[in-house]
Amino acid sequence: MKPEKLLASVVADMGGSDRAGQQEMVRRVAEALDTGGHLIIQAGTGTGKSLGYLAPVASWALKTGSRAIVSTATLALQRQITAADAPAVIAHSGGKLTVAVLKGWHNYACLKRVNEDMRVALPIDGGATDMGEEVNRAREWALTTDTGDRDDLVPGVPDKVWSQISINKQECEGKDCPLIEECFAESARLRAHAADIVVTNHAMLGVHSMGLDLLPHADAVIIDEAHELVGRVTSQLTVRISRRELNRIARMIRSAGASDRVFNRRADALIDVLAERDGRMRRMPEEIREALVGLSEALAAEVEKEQWANAFQADIDTLVSGAGDVVLWARDESLYGAPLDVAGPIADRIFDERAVVLTSATLEIGRSFTPMAVSVGLAFPSQGPWQGIDVGSPFDYQSQGILYIADDLPAPGRGGPSEEMLQRLADLVTASGGGALGLFSSRRAAEVATDYLREVTGLPILCQGEDQLSTLVEEFRADEQVSLFGTISLWQGIDVPGPTCRLVVIDRIPFPRPDDPVASARTELVGKRGGNGFMQISATHAAVLLAQGAGRLLRSRKDRGVVAVLDSRLATQRYGGYLRSSMPPMWPTGDRDIVLGALSRLSQAARGDNPEEFEEPGECEDPPASGASSAEAGPETPPEEESRTNPDQRGEGRREGQDEGMHEDRDAGDGSSP
């Protein structure tokens, strides 16, 4: 069946309607699969991306007998694809395609560990009774389940409990395990090697890019949520040596029947050295190098040919011999090493000699797809030509949403939220009667804003960290007066359609922290190559997050609301146009009174007092926000389509990528970036 007809059949069966962007996506993806092309396709919220690529993938697999790998960043989308979208497409395809899901080691129970002595499985540091019962329940489940997949354990268990019945990739004995024939992870890999469509995640792609052939051969790779790919691969390739890791290795040495005495002495020496270090190191200090080499020698003297030992030795080798290709830093008595660039591994190990489709709602940065192509290696001449297209969104952003930039507020500084910003935030949330999703660049800023608004507005405010995030989101979803404030976990992936979320507030432009070691190293690299490190790294990072954050507002064609950015630099600085051009094209204004009036009418509509809601923003008299012209960094008019054969003419060398994004603990920049 042709992909267009397959899509139409699935959509009709689901009771859906035709969407021009989805239909265009099907045509473009089918063309890339047939020609082995490389395609970057931006599809706005509401397009129906998963069906937009699954229909042509199924049609192509039936026609050619080839296998495709589909990778996502989140477990939620992975479950949606495997449980709903892929089965629906296959049911209408007329063929007998098979789908398999493949996750990392830690997502599967380890039968060898489950069968170990209960003393190993039970927690020993308090709460033994409650946690012990949970561990026993998880162990009993592991002995009866067919999959060993954590998602199939219902109700679920906390991470501490799950860690008692699972292992990470360094601890796995691989083919030497006596229970290899019953191994859940191995069974999942065997199913993947027999499937027509393999659904995995970006972390697994990261492991594969290291040279470990965990994924089956495929003639096509589809990367959904592609804006997350560089960050997830970077995270997966980052080496960390901490006290906890060293204790784990010592335990494994003892389990192998060897002595850990010398290893522990060398481990203590390394921790003592790291205790005096904090932050990025442009070259490895000799005392750290000596401590690492000592650890390696101590391990080699006691243990040979163990997979976990080889993996730890490889981590040490990466840190010691990484030279300029590894970013080194110390923090909290731990040593880290992250790849300076992941474009090469992605291009060489994941994209080379196969059809590639990258898709997301936010791939066009500053009205160009080139930054995305460069960051993932598609811009290498060896990869051949690539195309970047935007199939649009079914939403009418100009009439559904307002982008308010508070250009009269002082620029944010390092001292946390200003009194003026907090008061403006209170004005906005009061006018909207709640229903606000507050996206903050740091945990501290979210907590300060929560305390302030609780005191001056009396409205119910939830703050990330006060409960499980899923619980907080459900409370926010259930009450139209409740607001939810938080950091990175709320900027992406939160889906709350309807009047419950009628105001999204962004406290400041989410530049990387100035002390972020990977971002700073990549910025320096761009500068050495003659580029603008701030624009290519910091501004690109901020543009993606701003687009993702603003995208939390409109989740259906009936939604209306306001995105309020309380950072005046978005309107006053030259890079503001570059950042704004990556955000959804809502109607812009800097007029506080117009926005408060619109929010007041939205509040009345949410309560049922004003069924007509508020007038369409496009009919207002207010001009666009100040500084609305595009910065020099990007063109005035976004191209309908980009094609590049060799967009970067500097040769075959690896290119810099995007930084890995905000960390939950360290959050985003402190506002000191330009």
DSSP letters for 386-420: EEEEE---SS-HHHHEEEEE-TTSPPP-TTSS-HH
**Structure tokens that stand for 55 in this block:** 């229909």
Would you state the pLDDT for residue 98?
95
Residues of the chain above pLDDT 70, percent: 88
Can you tell me the distance from the alpha carbon of 216 to that of 191, in angstroms, rounded to the nearest whole number? 10
Can you tell me the distance from the alpha carbon of 288 to that of 597, in angstroms, rounded to the nearest whole number? 60
Can you tell me the distance from the alpha carbon of 145 to that of 276, in angstroms, rounded to the nearest whole number? 48
Burial of 562 (0-12, 13-18, 19+ CB in 10 A): buried
Q: Taking the mean position of all CA atoms in its chain, how far away is CA 392?
A: 22
Whether the pLDDT of residue 646 is over 70: the answer is: no
User: Average pLDDT, stretch 102-121?
Assistant: 77
Please state the φ and ψ torsions of residue 540, each to the nearest 5 degrees: -65, -45
Would you state the pLDDT for residue 129?
59
Please write the tens of the pLDDT for every residue from 336-354. 999 999 999 999 999 988 9
- State which H helix or E strand residue 280 sits in: strand 279-281
Would you state the pLDDT for residue 69?
97
- Residue 74 pLDDT class (50, 70, 90 cuts): confident
**Rounded mean pLDDT of the chain?**
86
Q: In this predicted structure, which of 315-324, 325-334, 431-440, 593-602 has the lowest mean pLDDT?
A: 315-324
**Structure tokens that stand for 418 in this block:** 């200003």
User: Average pLDDT, stretch 623-637?
Assistant: 33
Cβ(211)–Cβ(349) below 8 Å: yes
> CA nearest 656: which of 533, 510, 512, 511?
533
> How would you classify residue 353: left for phi > 0, otherwise alpha for psi between -120 and 50, otherwise beta?
left
Whether the pLDDT of residue 650 is over 60: the answer is: no
**Structure tokens that stand for 385 in this block:** 């030509």
> How would you classify residue 325: left for phi > 0, otherwise alpha for psi between -120 and 50, otherwise beta?
alpha
**95 or 225, higher pLDDT:** 225
ω before 611 within 30° of 0 (cis)? no
Please write the tens of the pLDDT for every residue from 115-169. 874 444 444 444 455 778 888 899 999 999 999 999 889 888 888 889 889 987 7
Can you tell me the distance from the alpha carbon of 83 to that of 87, in angstroms, rounded to the nearest whole number? 7
User: Which one-letter amino acid corresponds to residue 428?
Assistant: L
Radius of gyration, CA atoms only, the chain: 26
Instruction: Using the Cα atoms of residue 589, residue 594, residue 596 and residue 600 in order, give the sign of their dihedral.
Output: negative
CA distances from 502 to 189, 224, 402, 552, 618 (A): 44, 27, 11, 10, 18
Whether the pLDDT of residue 38 is over 90: the answer is: yes
**DSSP per-residue codes, 412-473:** P-TTSS-HHHHHHHHHHHHHHTS-EEEE-SSHHHHHHHHHHHHHHH---EEETTSS-HHHHH
Beta-carbon contacts of 500 under 8 Å, excluding residues fewer than 6 positions away, are: 435, 476, 477, 478, 479, 480, 482, 606
∠ Cα 662 668 670 (to 5°): 160
Whether the pLDDT of residue 511 is over 70: the answer is: yes
Q: In this predicted structure, which of 55-64, 215-224, 240-249, 644-653 has the lowest mean pLDDT?
A: 644-653
Can you tell me the distance from the alpha carbon of 589 to that of 407, in angstroms, rounded to the nearest whole number? 9
**DSSP per-residue codes, 498-533:** STTS-EEEE-S--PPPTT-HHHHHHHHHHHHTTS-H
**Structure tokens that stand for 43 in this block:** 């599809």
User: Average pLDDT, stretch 191-204?
Assistant: 94
Cβ(571)–Cβ(405) below 8 Å: yes
- Say what the pTM is: 0.81
> CA nearest 275: which of 337, 331, 192?
331
- Residue 609 pLDDT class (50, 70, 90 cuts): low
Would you state the pLDDT for residue 210?
80
Would you state the pLDDT for residue 304?
79
> CA nearest 555: which of 430, 342, 347, 397?
397
Can you tell me the distance from the alpha carbon of 426 to that of 424, in angstroms, rounded to the nearest whole number? 5
- Residue 631 pLDDT class (50, 70, 90 cuts): very low
Whether the pLDDT of residue 507 is over 60: the answer is: yes
> CA nearest 40: which of 355, 395, 420?
355
Would you state the pLDDT for residue 655?
28
Question: In the β-sheet with 220-223, what is the strand arrangement from edge to edge?
Answer: 99-101, 197-201, 68-72, 220-223, 355-360, 38-42, 386-390, 641-644
Would you state the pLDDT for residue 330?
95
**Structure tokens that stand for 638 in this block:** 């976004």
Whether the pLDDT of residue 436 is over 90: the answer is: yes
Would you state the pLDDT for residue 267?
95
Whether the pLDDT of residue 667 is over 50: the answer is: no
Can you tell me the distance from the alpha carbon of 105 to that of 163, in angstroms, rounded to the nearest whole number? 11
User: Average pLDDT, stretch 268-276?
Assistant: 94
DSSP code of residue 641: E
- Residue 332 pLDDT class (50, 70, 90 cuts): very high
**Structure tokens that stand for 276 in this block:** 């005096």
SS3 string of 203-262? HHHHHHHCCCCCCCCCCEEEECCHHHHHHHHHHHHCEEECHHHHHHHHHHHHHCCCCCHH
